[in-house]
Amino acid sequence: KQLAIVGCPFSAGQPKGGVDKGPIHLVSAGLVNQLEALGWNVHFDGHHQFEDISIESDPPIGLLKNPRVVSRTCEALSGVVSEHAQNGRLPVTLGGDHSLAMGTISGTLKHFPEACVIWVDAHADINTTDTTDTGNIHGMPVSFLMGIGSKVPEFDWLKPVLAANKLVYIGLRDVDDGEKKILRENKIKAFSMHEVDKYGISKVVELALDHVNPNRDLPIHLSLDVDALDPSVTPSTGTPVRGGLTFREGHYVCEAIYETGLMIGLDIMEVNPSVSDTASVTQTVAVGCSLTRAALGETLL
Ligand SMILES: N[C@@H](CCCCC(O)O)C(=O)O
Ligand SMILES: [Mn+2]
Ligand SMILES: [Mn+2]
Ligand SMILES: [Mn+2]
């Protein structure tokens, strides 16, 4: 069992400093040893300093902030991730903000074009250049991966690789009006916190898999934003939203996806060790590590 930890100190998809330090905190909390203890052969060749991608100037394009840095970083990340997948290593990307998913998901889908994506998040991250209110590209990766909305030439390298029927959300509770319209128009399946309350998390995971992976024969890319969990569980993140997944619900999702034996890509995103006090940071980093372990085979018995 081979995996590669791809540490991505990156924050240009959103305005808050600190999320670039997420990967460093996760690794220094012992994640490599923890995964080796689960029997994984872990490839970790240090954090990829994508941010040394020198951009002389990166003025906004419309509302979009840092578009060139985000685009070039994701393009480089896509190559790193697909190379690991090519070499039989499961890429585990540690963010960094969620705009990086343009790189991770295009990278894994290059090698596993029939893969489905399970997006665990408080947010849909599917704004387009026309619908974004903030211009923060971490709120937009899914629209770029699906080729929805007006083209942005800087992102021409990213071809539409994700079909609506291969995407499913779990944990949504803070979706912009423009995004709600996009979800409806594209018939994208989403299990919000209302459905989690209504059906319970195990039924939600089963229904989500039934939708994108009915025969349980397609590879799965799990893209997890730690803000999917309640802020009482993962407080140190840039866009916290009340009413999220409990500690156990978050871990159940990861455990259940591991149990399918189909996971070929994992993203652990939006840990921001600069948000909140030390105790909150320590807790959030510890939960990030335990979610990662749960997605990679750690069991309670
Ligand atoms: N929908 C908001 C918030 C996005 C939050 C992004 C996070 O989920 O990665 C925006 O577009 O700025
Ligand atoms: Mn490497
Ligand atoms: Mn997100
Ligand atoms: Mn989010």
Is 25 one of the catalytic residues? no
- 25, 63 contact by CB (below 8 A): no
What pLDDT score does 48 carry?
83
Residues constituting the chain: 301
Distances (CA, A) of 41 to 26, 35, 103, 267, 289: 18, 8, 23, 18, 17
What confidence tens digit (pLDDT) does each residue in 243-300 have?
A: 999 999 999 999 999 999 999 999 999 999 999 999 999 999 999 999 999 999 999 9
ipTM over 0.85: yes
Greater pLDDT, 55 or 139: 139
CA distances from 158 to 101, 136, 282 (A): 11, 18, 36
Neighbouring-strand partners of residue 190: 169
Q: Is the CB of 123 under 6 A from ligand 1?
A: yes
The whole-model pTM stands at 0.98
Atom of ligand 1 nearest to the CA of 136: 12
pLDDT class for 53, splitting at 50, 70, 90? Answer: low
Q: What is the DSSP string of 192-230?
A: EHHHHHHH-HHHHHHHHHHHH-TTS-S-EEEEEEGGGB-
Looking at the chain, list the stretches that DSSP marks H as alpha helix, in order from N- to C-terminal side. Answer: 22-28, 31-36, 67-86, 101-111, 141-146, 177-185, 193-199, 201-212, 247-260, 278-295
Tell me the two tokens of residue 269.
């995103």
Average pLDDT score, the chain: 97
β-pair partners for 92: 5, 266
Rounded distance, CA 152 to CA 191, Å? 30
pLDDT tens track for 101-149:
999 999 999 999 999 999 999 999 999 999 999 999 999 999 999 999 9
63 in contact with ligand 1, CB cutoff 6 A: no
Phi, psi of 159 (to 5 degrees): -80, 155
Answer yes or no: is the C-beta of 121 below 6 A from any ligand 1 atom: yes
Sheet containing strand 263-269, edge to edge, reads 41-43, 2-7, 90-94, 263-269, 220-225, 116-120, 167-172, 189-192
Among residues 47, 48, 111, 123, the one annotated as catalytic is 123
Q: Work out the pLDDT band at 176, boundaries 50, 70, 90.
A: very high
Average pLDDT over residues 173-181: 99
pLDDT at position 203: 99
